[in-house]
Structure 1
Amino acid sequence: MSEGTQAPTENAAETKPEGDAAAAPPQKEMKSVVLTGFGGVKMVKVLQKPEPTAKEGEVLVRVKACGVNFPDLMVRQGVMDHPPKTPVIMGFECSGIVEAVGENTTGFSVGDRVIGFTNYGAWAELAAIPSNHVFKMPDNMSFQDGAALVMNYVTAYVLLFDLANLRKGHSVLVHSVGGGVGHAITQLCKTVEDVTVFGTASSHKHDAIKANVSHLFDHSTDYAQEIRKINSEGVDIVLDCLCAEDTNRGINLIKPMGKYLLYGSSNIVTGETKSFFSFAKSWWQVDKVSPIKLFDENKMIGGFQLRRLVFNQGQHTYVRDIVNKLFALYNSAKINPTVDSVWAFEDVGEAMQKIHDRKNIGKLILDPTAQPKPKSASTEKAAEGTKENSTDKKDDAGSGGD
C-alpha cells in the first residue's frame, strides 16, 4: 500500500448510507378536535395531531371524557375576549388516567384517575396539563361525572358562596337553569336551608327541570313582573349568564343589600357564526351603571370568569380548595352532575348544535373512544366539511397548539 493510502476500517465498511442512521422513528399521533378557523361548525374538524409529552411540571392524561360548554361555541365563533390563535385543539376540561408525569412534578403517579382543567387542548386522546390544574378524582366518581364537574360546579360554588354569600332564607334568580351551570347552582342551593330559587328556561325544558326550582318561568315572558308578584321586593341574588337586556332586569330585581353577578354573555350567540349586530346589541342594551345609584340603593354588582381567574390571574390554589369541597359534597351525595348525552369526537358538530339550540338538559360529554353515529348518504353530504376523518393527513393546520 502506498504512502498516504489508508486501509478501510471495519467501522467504515459497515457505515450505513447517509440519512439512514439519522432517521428518527415516526412521531406518534392522536385523534383531536381542532378549530381550524373562526366560524360555523365546518371549522371544527377531527384531525390527527402529534401526541404531546409531559414536560416539567405537567401531567400527561389519557383522556376518557371531555366536557362541552357554551364558551366552546363562543370560541368557535371568535366572540371570546382574547380568542386563541388557530388552529388549536379545543376544550377546557377532561377526565382520564395519568399516563406519564413530567420532571419535578409531584403529587401524581401513573395510573391515577384525574380531572384536568385546561386552557384549550382537552378535546384529544391525550392532554398534557400543568399539575396545578389537575385533581385526583374520588374513587366512586365516573369519568363522565368528572368531566362534567370542574367548570360548572366551581363556577356555581364561587358565585353562590364566595361572591353572593348565600344564606338561609335567601332568594336566587338563575337563568338557563336547564344547562350545566344551572343544574349545579340549583343543587348547591339545596345545601342551604330555606332558599327560594327562581329559574328561567325555554318552555320545552320545563317538565324535565321544574322539580329543581321553586318557581320556573319561560325566558321569553316578562319573568321580572312574575317574580314581583311572588316577591314584591325582588330577590337577594341574581346570577346572569345572558347579559344584554337581562342585565338591566336583573339589577332592577335585586333587593337592598342584594347582589347581581354576571358570569356569561350567551345572548351574543344567535346564528351559527359571529353576528356583529348581536354582539353590539348585547352591550348597547346594558344601561350605564352609576356607582352613586348603587350607593343610594344599597345594591352590589359583580362579575366572574373562571378561566380568567385561573389562567390569567393565577388563582389555582383557591380553585383547588373549592374542588376539594365539591368532592366532599359529591361523596356525601349532595351534588351529582347531570349528563345530558355522550358524543363521539366525530359528532362534535351535532353536540355543539344541541347547545346552540338550547336543547340540552345538563352537560354534554365527548368520549374519544365512542363510535360516531351512523349517517345516511344525504346526511354525510350535508355534513361534508364539518369534520374530517381522523386519518386525513392533507390538512395543513399545524400543531394545534396555542
Structure 2
Amino acid sequence: MRALLSRAPGGPETLELADLPDPAAGKGQVVVAVRACAINYPDVLIIEDKYQFRPERPFAPGGEIAGTIESIGGGVEGWQVGDRVMGVIGHGGLATRIAVDAHRLYRLPDARSFAEGAALILTYATTIHALLDRGRLSAGQSLLVLGAAGGVGLAAIELGKAYGARVVAAVSSEEKAAAATAAGADATIVYARAPFDKDQSRALAEQFKAAGGRGGFDVIYDPVGGDYAEPALRSIAWEGRYLVVGFPAGIPKLPLNLTLLKSCDVCGVFWGAFAARDPDANQRHVETLFRLWEDGRIAPRVTQRFSFERGGEAIATMAARGAIGKLVVEIES
C-alpha cells in the first residue's frame, strides 16, 4: 500500500509519499480500499501538532473516507467484502488501504459517488449536533453563519433552512456569497479580511446587527474565530446561542460583559467527543442526515478534486482558507 505520511511536524510540504506493508483487519475491524478522502481543517492542524490529538508518527492525515471493504476481521457482522462504505476515522485516510473499526463505517448508497460519501459525515454531523443540541435552533428563528462557504458553513446553511430558520451567510468574497446563496441562504454579508482595528471591528458589528434586525440572531454559528467573533457576538439576540466551532482565523478573546447584557450562551461544539460520549444520539443524527440527503435537502458540494499525489496541495488549499465547499483527494487503490 501507499500512504502520504507526516514524519515530523510541519506544513503540507513536509508530507512524503511512501510504500508500507498492507494492513490486516484485527478483531472488530475491516480493511477498506480507500477511493476518496475528504480534507478538513483538522488535517491542517494535525500535521503541525496543533490539533487536540497527536497520533504517533509516522501517520497519514485524512479523517474522512469512502471506499470498499477488502477484508473482514473476527467478530464483524453485517458487512461483506465489496461493500461500499463511508466514515470518519480520525486520521490515516490519505492511504490506499486502512484497517478501520467496523462501527465507524456507514453504508454508502449506490447512487452516491465515493467523493460525495467522503464529504458528508464530518461537516454535517458536526453541524446538526451544533444547531440542534447546542444551539436549540427551531423554525422561525434567525441564524448567522460565519465562514459560510466552507464545508461546515454550507452544511449550516442547508440544515438551518431544513429546520425552518432564516439564514444569513457571512463570507469573504462575492464568489463565496454566490455559493452561499446557491445553498439556500436568505441573505449574505461580504466582510473584509482580518485583522481589524477598533473602527473596522465596530463597522463589522454594525453590518451584522443590520442583517440580524431589531431582535438580533437567535443562533450564531462560528467556525472561523479570530477578529470576526466579537462583532458577531454583538449582533446576538436576547438569550441567543453563540456556537464555537473552530478557529482558522485565531482563538478570539470575547468580552464577557456582552454575555451578561444579552443573557446569551457561548457554547462549545466538539462533535468527536459528543459522538464518543453519546453514540446513540449521534447515530440518530446520522440517520436524519441520510434521510435529508436522500430527500435532496442537503448535498455535500465537492468543488475541487485532487489526485493522491497532490494530497498535500489539497491540505495547503484548506490552510489558505480559499476552499469553497469540500476538497476531496481521489485515490486509486
Q: Could you state the TM-score of these two structures normalised by the residue count of structure 2?
A: 0.90
- Contact in 1 for aligned 2:46/2:53 (Cα 8 Å): no
Within the candidate set 243, 257, 260, 1:261 is matched to 243
Partner of 1:202: 172
Q: 1:137 to 1:244 in 2, by over 3 A?
A: same
Partner of 1:119: 90
Aligned residue pairs, count: 321
| Structure whose alpha-carbon radius of gyration is higher | 1
- Contact in 2 for aligned 1:172/1:235 (Cα 8 Å): yes
The structural deviation recorded for 1:346 is 0.8
- Contact in 2 for aligned 1:217/1:223 (Cα 8 Å): no
* Match runs of 1:372-383 below 5 Å: none
* Match runs of 1:243-258 below 5 Å: 243-258=225-240
Partner of 1:217: 189
* Match runs of 1:1-400 below 5 Å: 30-193=1-164, 195-203=165-173, 204-212=175-183, 213-220=185-192, 222-230=203-211, 231-268=213-250, 282=251, 285-287=252-254, 289=256, 294=259, 297-310=262-275, 313-369=276-332
The structural deviation recorded for 1:366 is 0.7
**1:110-143 deviations in Å (ceiling 9; x for gaps):** 1211112112111111111112211112232221
Aligned amino acid, residue 204 of structure 2: Y
The structural deviation recorded for 1:369 is 1.8
**Counterpart-to-counterpart distance in 1, 2:14 and 2:304:** 23
Aligned amino acid, residue 274 of structure 2: L
- Contact in 2 for aligned 1:116/1:129 (Cα 8 Å): no
**Counterpart-to-counterpart distance in 2, 1:329 and 1:258:** 26
**Counterpart-to-counterpart distance in 1, 2:309 and 2:182:** 34
The structural deviation recorded for 1:296 is 6.2
> What secondary structure, in the 3-state scheme, does the structure 1 residue paired with 2:289 have?
helix
RMSD: 2.0
- Contact in 2 for aligned 1:35/1:45 (Cα 8 Å): yes
Aligned amino acid, residue 253 of structure 2: V
- Contact in 1 for aligned 2:39/2:62 (Cα 8 Å): yes
> What secondary structure, in the 3-state scheme, does the structure 2 residue paired with 1:95 have?
strand
Q: Among the aligned pairs, what percent are the same residue? A: 28
**Counterpart-to-counterpart distance in 2, 1:315 and 1:122:** 24
* Higher mean C-alpha deviation, range 347-356 or range 178-187: 347-356
> What secondary structure, in the 3-state scheme, does the structure 1 residue paired with 2:246 have?
coil
- Contact in 2 for aligned 1:159/1:304 (Cα 8 Å): yes
**Counterpart-to-counterpart distance in 1, 2:138 and 2:314:** 36
> What secondary structure, in the 3-state scheme, does the structure 1 residue paired with 2:76 have?
coil
**Counterpart-to-counterpart distance in 2, 1:328 and 1:287:** 37
**1:49-69 deviations in Å (ceiling 9; x for gaps):** 221111101121111111100
Partner of 1:273: none
**Counterpart-to-counterpart distance in 2, 1:233 and 1:223:** 17
The structural deviation recorded for 1:239 is 0.7
**1:291-318 deviations in Å (ceiling 9; x for gaps):** xx746642111111223334xx443333
The structural deviation recorded for 1:211 is 3.5
- Contact in 1 for aligned 2:94/2:311 (Cα 8 Å): no
The structural deviation recorded for 1:198 is 1.6
Q: 1:363 to 1:112 in 2, by over 3 A?
A: same
Aligned amino acid, residue 307 of structure 1: G
- Contact in 1 for aligned 2:226/2:248 (Cα 8 Å): no
- Name which structure has the greater RCO, CA cutoff 8 Å, separation 6+: 1
Q: Could you state the TM-score of these two structures normalised by the residue count of structure 1?
A: 0.75
The structural deviation recorded for 1:288 is 5.6
